[in-house]
């Protein structure tokens, strides 16, 4: 396992020495004065960093990139730019009961504990438990902020938008998402659930009756070597865009390089109109609880292996899964490894994103022998098919969850899935466009190819998908309803800058 940031090494050595010399002093006290932190910091990162993921920039590299681009990483909430690297996370959805009680507490109890981007990049500055906050449109309203943020999807909320997303209705939705009563979400992240529980306890005690918890979802990186893999078993979070002013100058081959304004409001490349000045450096957070039917997915692969090409039945099943996703379980892209997984390629960030779906000897507009047009990664980032569309980009920051609903359901049933989180400066150009116009369209990226077999949805109707068989692209597979991923709903939020919380939302 590689290190998340290089300063980890220095910190660990420094601490080891300090401890050896002064064994009776609490381990973190040497940093207290040096960092000016109120509380002891960490000895190891709260984030995961699978080999296949590009490293986060060091805090020095990010600071100099940010400086050159005039981006203030101290003012941007930490979750927005770091991607799918959380170890343990709790999504705590709340409703504001008394805004005149809540506002001063937002300023005095929440704001000082919100983790910024710069803090997260330096292990010695990371808190024990990271805290971020975001508000729904009704939440901003509850705070007396009724100005438009220039995003109609956000303004209406996700419940109103569910048909556009292809959800069959709200029957499968977590009841608390089916409405507009959720005012905000607190994101707690750490490397242990105990740390998170402590932080929740502290914050709940401080906030008292000013808010009430509506719903929460605990999520965690999967254990051991599955860390970073979603529940179907595929490594996730490999291909997040590199952002100007943060890590664009360290982009890996094939990684998209986007303007900061694609993710952050009010920055270069944000084409949104009518944003109030205080919204600058905030980002829209799309949350979706996407339930995954893992045994059903596996059974489908076992029952429908791709035959031929000298593959065993088992290999044919693996290949079908890889062609549905666009990558093998290791993360190796099928465009570069069309018939068998190549774990070395999967684990190499210099190579595992270095493809466009175009090949000199193949016709880009018709050939699906290497990767189906409908594959999840090709639907959500068509690369050469679209001449590299740099506007429809999101920063994915989700994490797998396992939620035990047994008590409420009265039956033995453990739900698992992806706590999907995406950041963007315009929901209609980001998540919503990918889901509605790309994943759910049978005619994207070419006529008749079918929907994305992982997330594509036609309001519960049967889905006919082409391109799965590399030697016969006209061969179809038919999926009944949304076989493997079920939307349990979610909400649209706005994750403001720290200064917006100080100067606008808490006053």
Ligand X SMILES: *[C@@H]1O[C@H](CO)[C@@H](O)[C@H](O)[C@H]1NC(C)=O
The residues of the shown chain that bind ligand HEM, judged by CB under 6 A, are 230, 232, 234, 236-239, 290, 292, 325, 327, 376-377, 380-381, 394, 396, 417-418, 420, 431, 434-435, 439, 454-455, 485
Q: How far is the CB of 328 from ligand HEM (least distance, A)?
A: 10
Q: How far is the CB of 438 from ligand HEM (least distance, A)?
A: 8
What are the backbone dihedrals phi and psi of residue 213, each rounded to the nearest 5 degrees, phi first? -70, 130
Alpha helices in 22-113 (DSSP H): 29-31, 59-69, 79-82, 99-105
Q: How far is the CB of 113 from ligand X (least distance, A)?
A: 4
Question: E strand or H helix at 452, and its extent?
Answer: none
| Cα distance between residue 386 and residue 383, in whole Å | 6
The span of 278-286, 338-346, 348-356, 433-441 binding ligand X (CB under 6 A) equals 348-356
Among candidate residues 151, 242, 237, 152, the one with its CA nearest the CA of residue 425: 151
Residue nearest ligand HEM by beta-carbon distance: 239
Scan residues 381-420 and list those touching ligand X (CB under 6 A): 409-410
The span of 22-30, 200-208, 218-226, 483-491 binding ligand X (CB under 6 A) equals 200-208
Inter-axis angle of helices 294-303 and 313-325, to 10 degrees? Answer: 120
| Cα distance between residue 75 and residue 63, in whole Å | 12
Cα four-point dihedral sign 465, 468, 472, 473 = positive
Contacted entry of ligand X, ligand HEM, none for residue 253, CB cut-off 5 to 8 Å set by kind: ligand X
Q: How far is the CB of 482 from ligand X (least distance, A)?
A: 21
Q: Does 16 bind ligand X (CB under 6 A)?
A: no
Give yes or no for a contact between 147 and 274, defined as CB atoms under 8 angstroms apart. Answer: no
Contacted entry of ligand HEM, ligand X, none for residue 107, CB cut-off 5 to 8 Å set by kind: none
Assign 3-class secondary structure to 219-262: EECCCHHHCCECCCCCECCCCCCEECCCCHHHCCCCCCEECHHH
Q: How far is the CB of 3 from ligand HEM (least distance, A)?
A: 21
Contacted entry of ligand HEM, ligand X, none for residue 354, CB cut-off 5 to 8 Å set by kind: ligand X
Give yes or no for a contact between 272 and 265, defined as CB atoms under 8 angstroms apart. Answer: yes
Contacted entry of ligand HEM, ligand X, none for residue 215, CB cut-off 5 to 8 Å set by kind: none
Give yes or no for a contact between 81 and 246, defined as CB atoms under 8 angstroms apart. Answer: yes
Task: Closer to ligand X by CB, 109 or 176: give it.
Answer: 109
Choose the catalytic residue: 161, 236, 270, 469: 236
Contacted entry of ligand HEM, ligand X, none for residue 410, CB cut-off 5 to 8 Å set by kind: ligand X
Using CB under 6 A, pick the residue from 229, 351, 370, 383 that binds ligand X: 351
Give yes or no for a contact between 467 and 338, defined as CB atoms under 8 angstroms apart. Answer: no
Q: How far is the CB of 234 from ligand HEM (least distance, A)?
A: 4
Scan residues 215-254 and list those touching ligand X (CB under 6 A): 253
The span of 198-206, 265-273, 287-295, 438-446 binding ligand X (CB under 6 A) equals 198-206
**What is the distance, to the nearest Å, from the Cα of residue 404 to the centroid of all Cα atoms in its chain?**
22
Contacted entry of ligand X, ligand HEM, none for residue 206, CB cut-off 5 to 8 Å set by kind: ligand X
Cross-strand pairs, 421: 287
Among candidate residues 316, 337, 314, 334, the one with its CA nearest the CA of residue 325: 334
Q: How far is the CB of 102 from ligand X (least distance, A)?
A: 13
Question: For residue 126, what are the contacts with CB-CB under 8 A and spacing of at least 6?
Answer: 41, 42, 45, 46, 115, 119, 120
Q: Does 113 bind ligand X (CB under 6 A)?
A: yes
Interface mask (CB under 6 A) for ligand X, residues 437-476, using x and -?
A: -----------------------------------xxx--
Q: How far is the CB of 407 from ligand X (least distance, A)?
A: 9
Q: Does 358 bind ligand X (CB under 6 A)?
A: no
Using CB under 6 A, pick the residue from 3, 128, 178, 251 that binds ligand X: 128
- Answer yes or no: 236 catalytic: yes
Q: What one-character DSSP code corresponds to residue 123?
A: G
Among candidate residues 123, 56, 128, the one with its CA nearest the CA of residue 395: 56
Question: For residue 206, what are the contacts with CB-CB under 8 A and spacing of at least 6?
Answer: 105, 109
The span of 51-59, 60-68, 201-209, 231-239 binding ligand X (CB under 6 A) equals 201-209
> Active-site residues: which are they?
236
Tell me which residues touch ligand X (CB under 6 A). 38-39, 109, 113, 127-128, 202-203, 206, 253, 350-351, 354, 409-410, 472-474
């Amino acid at each position: 396992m590689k290190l998340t940031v290089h300063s980890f090494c220095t910190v660990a050595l420094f601490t080891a020495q300090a401890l050896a010399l002064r064994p009776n002093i609490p381990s973190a006290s040497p940093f207290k004065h040096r960092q000016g932190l109120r509380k002891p910091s960490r000895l190891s990162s709260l984030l995961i960093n699978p080999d296949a993921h590009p490293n986060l920039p060091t805090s020095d590299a990010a600071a100099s990139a940010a400086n050159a681009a005039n981006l203030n990483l101290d003012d941007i909430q930490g979750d927005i730019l770091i991607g799918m690297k959380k170890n343990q996370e709790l999504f705590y959805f709340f409703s504001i009961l008394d805004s005149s009680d809540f506002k001063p507490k937002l300023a005095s109890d929440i704001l000082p504990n919100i983790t910024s981007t710069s803090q997260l990049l330096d292990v010695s500055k990371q808190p024990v438990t990271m805290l971020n906050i975001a508000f729904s449109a009704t939440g901003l309203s509850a705070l007396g902020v009724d100005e438009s943020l220039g995003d109609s999807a956000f303004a209406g909320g996700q419940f109103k938008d569910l048909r556009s997303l292809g959800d069959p209705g709200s029957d499968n939705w977590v009841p608390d998402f089916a409405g507009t009563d959720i005012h905000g979400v607190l994101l707690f992240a750490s490397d242990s659930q105990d740390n998170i529980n402590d932080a929740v306890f502290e914050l709940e005690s401080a906030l008292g009756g000013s808010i009430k918890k509506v719903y929460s979802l605990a999520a965690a990186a999967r254990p051991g070597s599955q860390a970073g893999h979603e529940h179907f078993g595929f490594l996730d979070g490999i291909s997040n865009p590199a952002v100007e002013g943060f890590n664009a100058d360290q982009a890996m081959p094939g990684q998209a390089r986007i303007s900061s304004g694609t993710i952050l409001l009010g920055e270069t490349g944000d084409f949104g109109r009518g944003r109030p000045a205080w919204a600058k450096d905030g980002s829209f957070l799309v949350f979706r609880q996407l339930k995954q039917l893992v045994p059903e997915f596996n059974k489908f692969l076992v029952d429908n292996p791709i035959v031929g090409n000298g593959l065993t039945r088992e290999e044919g099943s693996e290949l079908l899964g890889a062609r549905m996703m666009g990558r093998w379980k290791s993360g190796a892209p099928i465009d570069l490894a069309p018939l068998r997984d190549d774990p070395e390629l999967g684990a190499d960030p210099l190579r595992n994103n270095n493809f466009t779906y175009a090949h000199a000897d193949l016709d880009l507009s018709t050939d699906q022998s290497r990767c189906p047009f409908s594959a999840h990664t090709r639907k959500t980032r068509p690369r050469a098919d679209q001449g590299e569309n740099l506007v429809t980009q999101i920063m994915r920051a989700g994490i797998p969850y396992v939620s035990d609903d047994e008590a409420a359901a009265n039956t033995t049933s453990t739900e698992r899935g992806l706590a999907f989180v995406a950041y963007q400066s315009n929901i209609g150009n980001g998540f919503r466009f990918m889901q509605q116009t790309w994943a759910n369209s049978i005619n994207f990226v070419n006529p008749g190819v079918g929907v994305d077999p992982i997330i594509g949805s036609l309001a519960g109707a049967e889905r006919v998908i082409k391109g799965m068989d590399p030697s016969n692209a006209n061969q179809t597979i038919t999926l009944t309803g949304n076989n493997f991923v079920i939307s349990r709903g979610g909400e649209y939020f706005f994750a403001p800058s720290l200064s917006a919380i100080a100067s606008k939302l808490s006053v």
